[in-house]
Amino acid sequence: MNRKITDYSEIIRVYNTNGRSQAYAYIRKQYDVKNPYGIINRIKQSRIFNYDEETDRFLETSASGTDSVFIGLNELCQSGRIAGTNQQIDSGQNMEKLIKDLIEDRLVQLSHYIQMNQLTRTVLIDHTSMKADGYHVIIH
């Protein structure tokens, strides 16, 4: 059974101190996730942690309370501009990014149950786990 990931800072601590492979092992063990790569990618794209590609480390941004989590009323009412920058918001790009993120989340979720091997051209479906998690499997 998968547990909801709540302590991202611990994952970041393991990643920064022991490396990427140990962070993957930690996520697999603690949260029963078979493919932790998507989780690390989501953390890299989040605004809470900054990822430095040169050092392969995460840097936690200095946040003061709820100010970093929630945007202010002035930023919310600022039409057509991203807060803190001079970029125009392109709603088409935002919608495309949202759809991409939703598809990525769905694929990560499905990767817990389905594995494809292109070399042998086989698809492995963990039917028992899917049924246990409330899914119905119909094969045509």
Distance between CA atoms of 60 and 9, rounded to whole angstroms? 8
Distance between CA atoms of 57 and 8, rounded to whole angstroms? 14
What range defines the domain where residue 28 resides? Answer: 8-62+71-111
Is 123 part of any domain? no
Is 135 part of any domain? no
Is 75 part of any domain? yes
Is 43 part of any domain? yes
Domain count, the chain: 1
Is 39 part of any domain? yes
Distance between CA atoms of 84 and 47, rounded to whole angstroms? 13
Is 3 part of any domain? no
pTM of the complete model: 0.43
Is 82 part of any domain? yes
What letter represents residue 120's amino acid? Answer: T
Spell out the per-residue pLDDT of the chain, length 140, in tens: 556 676 788 888 899 999 999 999 998 888 888 888 888 888 888 777 888 888 888 876 654 444 455 666 666 666 555 545 555 556 778 888 889 989 998 898 888 899 999 999 999 999 888 888 888 888 88
Q: Answer whether 74's CB lies under 8 Å from 87's CB.
A: no
